Structure 1
Amino acid sequence: MTIGSRIKMIRKTKKVNQATFSNQIGISQATLSEWEQDKYKPSVDTILALVTQFDVNIEWLLFGITNDSLRDDGGVFHVHNISKLEGDLISEFRKLKAKDQEEIIDFIRLKIKRYES
């Protein structure tokens, strides 16, 4: 996976179009399009804006690697490859209140225990 495809993955996971995404990090839509097509690489300043604005792991963004599967704070982008279904689940999960999120986690743990038995 290239840096351009990782940038596109961030944008798609956040469910925003190129115009909105590019405005959020202070670049033109044309520049974003060229990155996503791997015609050009982003500057250091822009990489830092991506990391800050979207809470992205810089090692994952630059190199596609990480030492662990999930960040301590639950950030999504430490995961090497997530399916669209997993991305959708995370996006919807983030919309819930904390109590509801805890309920979902408890339910998932219960399901996992049942499968392990």
Structure 2
Amino acid sequence: MTIGQRIFYLLEEKHMTQKEFSDRTGIATTTISDWRKKNTNPGSDKIMSICAALDVTPEYLLSGVTEDSDRGRNIDYMVIPTGTEERELIEIFNDMNFVDRAHVMEYARKISERKSRYCETAKAKSMVKIAEFCDIEVFMNSNFEGEPFVDVNYIDDDVLGKLDIRSGVISGNFSKYVRPVIEAWYKDNKNLLESIWNTKKMMMIPAWE
């Protein structure tokens, strides 16, 4: 079935006249008739308006799926630009076998659950996230009460500790691999941490690698 044929099938299915279809899309009725008479397809510049008028997705209109299939209907689409980490992640995921995909999904869900669990606790304590790096989250008390500490949450191992803003002393059961990362981050951002605490102006610390 061609695109043009699929359009006429949908018009019949929806009991929509060519005149109504023309009014909805802005495409001349003569052009619509030519698709049937000459067995041609609409131009690419008209696809989106056709999909909107017929309430189908571009995938359904273009893919050649049989008319009794529901594929392509009621599907949410997300446009992800090329060259982004999100696009790279999806492409890597698509190249994986089903077993590896299952492992990745399990890991992602665990991270999401851990982040959600601490974020709820942090919200109740008036803690606001000010940094995130290497699966590590840093939270500061938005009321700027008590001693100048920040909470440090290592998502991967679900370990929570504290970091003294002034001295750099780290408390918490962090591994020998994670602790040096926190120390290096603190060294690069000590002045900014002290500035946030002293001025009481909350801000997100720039990305760090």
Cross-structure match for 2:36: 36
Amino acid at match of 2:51: V
For residues 37 and 15 of structure 1, do their structure 2 counterparts lie closer, same or farther at Cα, with a shift above 3 Å needed?
same
* Alpha-carbon separation, structure 1, partners of 2:72 and 2:3: 20
Matched, 1:65 2:71: no
Q: Offset at 1:63?
A: 2.5
Q: Offset at 1:72?
A: 7.0
Amino acid at match of 1:73: N
CA contact (8 A) 2:3 2:62 kept: yes
Cross-structure match for 1:13: 13
Question: Any idea what the Cα deviations from partners look like across 1:26-45, whole Å, max 9, x if unmatched?
Answer: 01111001113354321222
* Alpha-carbon separation, structure 2, partners of 1:13 and 1:65: 16
Q: Offset at 1:4?
A: 1.2
Larger CA Rg, structure 1 vs 2: 2
Cross-structure match for 2:4: 4
Q: Offset at 1:56?
A: 0.9
* Alpha-carbon separation, structure 2, partners of 1:48 and 1:64: 17
Give the aligned CA root-mean-square deviation in angstroms.
Answer: 2.5
CA contact (8 A) 1:4 1:36 kept: yes
TM-score by length of 1: 0.51
Question: How many corresponding residue pairs?
Answer: 73
Q: Normalized per residue, which structure has more strand?
A: 2
Question: Any idea what the Cα deviations from partners look like across 1:86-107, whole Å, max 9, x if unmatched?
Answer: xxxxxxxxxxxxxxxxxxxxxx
* Alpha-carbon separation, structure 2, partners of 1:72 and 1:34: 26
CA contact (8 A) 2:22 2:28 kept: yes
SS in 2 for 1:41: coil
Q: Normalized per residue, which structure has more helix?
A: 1
CA contact (8 A) 1:7 1:36 kept: no
TM-score by length of 2: 0.31
CA contact (8 A) 1:4 1:38 kept: no
For residues 73 and 27 of structure 1, do their structure 2 counterparts lie closer, same or farther at Cα, with a shift above 3 Å needed?
closer
Q: Offset at 1:47?
A: 0.7
Amino acid at match of 2:45: D
* Alpha-carbon separation, structure 1, partners of 2:38 and 2:57: 20
